[in-house]
Amino acid sequence: MTPARKARGGARKKAKNGARRIGLLGGSFNPAHEGHRYISLQAMRALKLDEVWWLVSPGNPLKAGDDDMAPFSARMASARAMAKHAPIRPTGIEKRLKTRYTVDTLSKLPRLYPRHRFIWLMGSDNLAQFHRWRGWRRIARQVPIAVVARPGYNRDAHASPAMSWLRRFVRPAGQAKNWTRWRLPALVLLRFRPDPNSATRLRAADPAWHRRYAPSPEPGTHHRER
């Protein structure tokens, strides 16, 4: 039995016996890549998660006007392709809920899934700018936060305005599996083997990547050249 299949089986048992432990990884996924998958699977082990949900954002408020942003359908398709055969669920729930900001999404999720326990996953690159997120202190009071170290961003993350406030709430990484019992706010810093993949690098190598995920034309809708 593969690790992914074993994890899915454990998730089904957990759903019967009690609350499911869900990691939330938000982002543009422009495109989704091996780095997203790698940190999700590592976080699952470190935090003893049943599943990781990728919240594919309809539009990142901090990236408004970004000409490199692919259509939502292409970003979602890339996330589904990258999440195959793993206990990872790409979701467009923010699009359905019509929530633009993480703080609003996190306010609604517990009402929709009262038997789930959520922890927010982010890279240290996001922690470096976390103070720019709307209601970031409120986010920290809504869910525990697990920060995954990313090379090149850790110094800025530790010196950030958000970290200066969150530092007093840091929990030991050795206690990461106990996150459902933590009093909020609570932050844990996780370190895994660095993964070199990045969406920026992939877009630079293939600016038209999203065309691979364009919907196929309906039969009979193509036009013959004249």
User: 97-140, pLDDT tens digit by residue?
Assistant: 999 999 999 999 999 999 999 999 999 999 999 999 999 999 99
Residue 142 near residue 184 (C-beta atoms within 8 A): yes
Domain that holds residue 51: 21-60+68-210
Give the Cα-Cα-Cα angle 57, 61, 65 (nearest 5 degrees): 100
Whether 2 is in a domain gets the answer no
pLDDT band at 12 (very low <50, low <70, confident <90, very high): very low
The CATH number assigned to the domain holding 194 equals 3.40.50.620
* Confidence check: pLDDT of 4 > 60: no
On average, the pLDDT of the chain sits at 85
Cβ-based neighbours of 165, under 8 Å, separated by 6 or more: 137
Strands of the 20-27 sheet, one edge to the other: 88-91, 51-56, 20-27, 116-123, 145-148, 187-190, 170-171
pLDDT band at 61 (very low <50, low <70, confident <90, very high): low
For 4-26, the three-class secondary structure string (H helix, E strand, C coil) is HHHHHHHHHHHHHHCCEEEEEEE
Question: Of 31-35, 76-80, 205-209, which one has max mean pLDDT?
Answer: 76-80
Question: What Cα–Cα distance (Å) separates residue 35 from each residue in 82, 150, 188, 192, 200?
Answer: 10, 10, 20, 11, 12
pTM score above 0.85: no
* Confidence check: pLDDT of 219 > 60: no
In the prediction, which pLDDT does 225 show? 32
Show the DSSP H helices in the chain as ranges: 3-17, 34-47, 72-82, 93-97, 102-112, 124-128, 136-142, 154-158, 161-166, 199-205
How large is the average pLDDT for residues 172-185? Answer: 97
Whether 14 is in a domain gets the answer no
Better-scored residue on pLDDT, 213 or 147: 147
pLDDT band at 218 (very low <50, low <70, confident <90, very high): very low
Residue 11 near residue 50 (C-beta atoms within 8 A): yes
- Read off the tokens for 10: 């454990």
Whether 29 is in a domain gets the answer yes
Spatial separation of the C-alpha atoms in residues 83 and 34, rounded to whole Å: 9
* Confidence check: pLDDT of 174 > 90: yes
pLDDT band at 224 (very low <50, low <70, confident <90, very high): very low
Whether 11 is in a domain gets the answer no
How large is the average pLDDT for residues 21-31? Answer: 96
Q: H or E stretch including 71?
A: none
pLDDT band at 142 (very low <50, low <70, confident <90, very high): very high
Find tokens 């699009």 and name the residue: 95
Whether 39 is in a domain gets the answer yes
In the prediction, which pLDDT does 10 show? 45
Whether 75 is in a domain gets the answer yes
Question: Of 6-10, 172-176, 189-193, which one has max mean pLDDT?
Answer: 172-176
Whether 13 is in a domain gets the answer no
Whether 153 is in a domain gets the answer yes
- Read off the tokens for 3: 């690790």
Number of domains comprising the chain: 1
